[in-house]
Each structure stands twice: as structure tokens, then as C-alpha cells.
Structure 1
Amino acid sequence: MDEELDPQMDLADQVHLLLHEFPGGCSEYELIRQLKARHSSHIPQLEIKDRLVLFRTHFLLFNALYRLRQQLLEEGRSRLLISPTCIRLLAMDTAGSAVDEHDALAGYYLDMDNLRNTTEQDVQRMLMSFWSRMQGGDEKQAAIELFELDRHGEHLTLSIIKQRYRQLVSIHHPDRGGSTTRLQSINKAMEILDRYYK
């Protein structure tokens, strides 16, 4: 049985401890599952089927991840790869200090006002914004971004898309604690990309 986490530890320190158990990295879903299983008092211990609980859990985890990344870089110990599908500690190589660690999302997640001031209606608006982009001619790009494949550029193939689709479905399926709304978005994005890349 997994040991409970020290409740006196900051969430960033708890995450750091857990990441050492996953040298190959792990998904956001797995990290949240581990935090809940080990009774972290820093994240909601509620079902994450509710949109607002899901958003708050996600936000708190990513706030901790970006704080941890800053701390590790300042100490020169290691680097931290952050994405919903792969969160991983990386060795600090000789060029580590030259690596651009800028991430546009860092500012968002490090500002706790974004957590405090986001309502259920705001979360709904974010989802609606995604769907309106899907309907408004930007559907291909919105689907690629949802799959986090926008860096593949011209090398993107249907095989890569399908592999990514299977990963996302396994992470976000409601039977595994995911969101039905998120799964519907993933399925819709797959339909769109299937049309473009067939």
C-alpha cells in the first residue's frame, strides 16, 4: 500500500516526491490519482466529475508544478517537463541553463487570482469558446491544439493522431475519473481530424 503524504509538506514538494516514483514520467490524471490515494490535503478530495472541481484540481496541480519547476531551475538540480499527458523530471544537462523554460501558461497558473476568480460559468465559457472555434472554420487547428499536436506541423499523420486519441481517451474516460464533457470534446476533435488527415 502507498504511504500517505506528509500533510505538512507543500503540494509542490509532494508532487516532487511522487515524480521520483515515475522516472519515465506520468500523466496529470495519474498524478492526481496518486495525490488522492495518498490523502494529500492540498487538492479537493471530491469526485472530479463536476466541472468546477475538475478545474480547481487541475489548477492547483499545475500551480504546484510551475512553482516546482522554478525552484528546481533556481537550484540547478533538474528540469521539469509539464504537459497534461506527460509530467517528468529531467536531468539537468550541460546546456540546461540555456534551455528556454518560458511557458505562456506559467503566468496564468502562478497567479492564484485565476483560481479564486474563476466561476463555474467561466469554466463553461472556456468550453463554449473551444466549441465555437470548432464550429467557426478554425476547427482543424482547435482539434490539433486540443490533442496538443500543434508542434508536429507538416509531419502530422493519421497514425500519430489515432495514437494520441487513444492516450487521451484512456486518461479522460469517465470510468477512470475523467470528465464526460472532455471526452466528448476529444471524440469531436477526432472526427474532425479524421476528415482532414484521411
Structure 2
Amino acid sequence: MAAMNTPAPSTRPDQSPISRDQLAWLEQQADHLQVAAEHELRAAGASGLTELALIRALQSPRWQLIEPVTFSDPTALYPVHFLLFHALYRLQSELAQASETLVISPLRLCILTTGSGNTRALPAEEDPLRSFYLDISRYFLSGHDIRGMMERFLAGVTLAGSPEDVQEAAQVLGFDTLPGDFDTVKQRFRRRVMQAHPDRGGRTEDIQELNRAFSVLKRHFTRQ
């Protein structure tokens, strides 16, 4: 399986139609990612993986499907993120036919058997995020569009905030149960970000995961 070391361009200044070669390259990469992602998620069990953990697994020697990526650069991260989620939503459709559900949330990716303690519904065709990621042409976005989309994501605009997502977000910040107020969340978030700062031996990826968790909880308390 070839690594994503010569990716098709993620932007098309002239917005011309996707060429056959570009489409073939994207579909081939998505096929590889789908097979590898299913393997890794089944190995992880019901606890699942975060997106960053899955990316690292797909970068490992056993797969070598994704090159090193600068996680702090949205325009560099987006093509990897989009194609991976395109593959995941395709896999979700296939698993639904076998009475399995691929949970795709901001904080966890996992495969569950429908009817075995799984309270998640099967994928809904009207889900706007699902529709977005299944449209392969969305791989090609301008840098401006990518930055705007990532800002909205981190602000919690696109997060549904299901009970499962909210509980997982609380756990990422170190809470056993959801706090009763947002001020407690903010205090814990600041402390965890300081601990995870690269100057203190942390990683940018860890801070991004904390940001996602904070966004989910912010959206949750705003809606109350």
C-alpha cells in the first residue's frame, strides 16, 4: 500500500472539475485507508481510538499510509483528515448492512454491534457531516475555506454534542462525571493545556484533543 507521499493537490485555484487521474488516486487511497482503519478499530475494541491515535497507527511501519503531518497547520492536516473521514463514512455504510455501527464523533471512533448495548442509531442519510465527507470533491478546498471550517469546528458550531460525546469530552479533561457548571470546565481546561504545552514536554496533538473536548463541553453548556 502506497503512503500518501505524493498527494493530489488539496486546492484547485481554477475550481476545474476533478480529473480522472485525481479521482482514481483519491479512491485508491480511500480504499487503502478504509481497510487499515477497520483493522485498527476492530483491534481497539469498544473503547475505540481518537482520530489522532488512528492517524498515528496508519503512519506506523505496518501500514505506512500517511506521511508525517504538521498537526498545527490546518491546510496541511485537512487533506489527511478529509480523506480519512471519507473512508470512515464509507466504512460506516458497509458496516450498517452487517448490523454494525461505526461511531464517528469528535473524540472517539469505534465499531459497535447494533443491538448489543449500542444506543446509537444507524447512519442517517440526512446527516450534513456525513454528506460533506462523502462528497469527494470537498477534498479540494482553498486555504481560506479550510481555515474557516477548522475555526468553526473548534468553536463547536458543527458539533452535535450527543450525551456520549459530552461524557467522553469530560473524561478527556480528566473528569469522572460531567461538572455542573462551565466555569469548572474552563479551569480544568486551562490547567490541562498548561500541562500539555510543548515547552513542558507535551505535544501539539494533545492540545488539539483538549481543544476538541473543550469545544464539545462549551457547546453543551451553551445550549442549556
TM-score by length of structure 1 reads 0.63
State the Cα RMSD in Å. Answer: 4.5
The match for 2:114 is 92
- Checking the alignment, whether the CA contact within 8 Å between 2:193 and 2:210 is kept in structure 1 is no
- Checking the alignment, whether the CA contact within 8 Å between 2:107 and 2:213 is kept in structure 1 is no
1:176 to 167, 190, 203: 203
Distance 1:92 1:58 in 2: 26
Deviations along 1:19-40, one digit per CA (max 9) or x if unpaired, are 1121111111111111112364
Aligned residues: 171
Distance 2:134 2:151 in 1: 24
2:132 to 104, 108, 115: 108
* Identity of matched residues, %: 26
Query: Where does structure 2 lack aligned partners over 5 or more consecutive residues?
Result: 3-27, 167-177
Query: Where does structure 1 lack aligned partners over 5 or more consecutive residues?
Result: 1-5, 132-141
Distance 2:50 2:210 in 1: 19
- Checking the alignment, whether the CA contact within 8 Å between 1:81 and 1:87 is kept in structure 2 is yes
Letter in 2 for 1:106: R
Q: How does 1:131-170 map to 2 (within 5 A)?
A: 142=155, 145=157, 148=159, 150-151=161-162, 157-158=180-181, 161=185, 165=189
Letter in 2 for 1:83: S
TM-score by length of structure 2 reads 0.57
Distance 1:189 1:94 in 2: 30
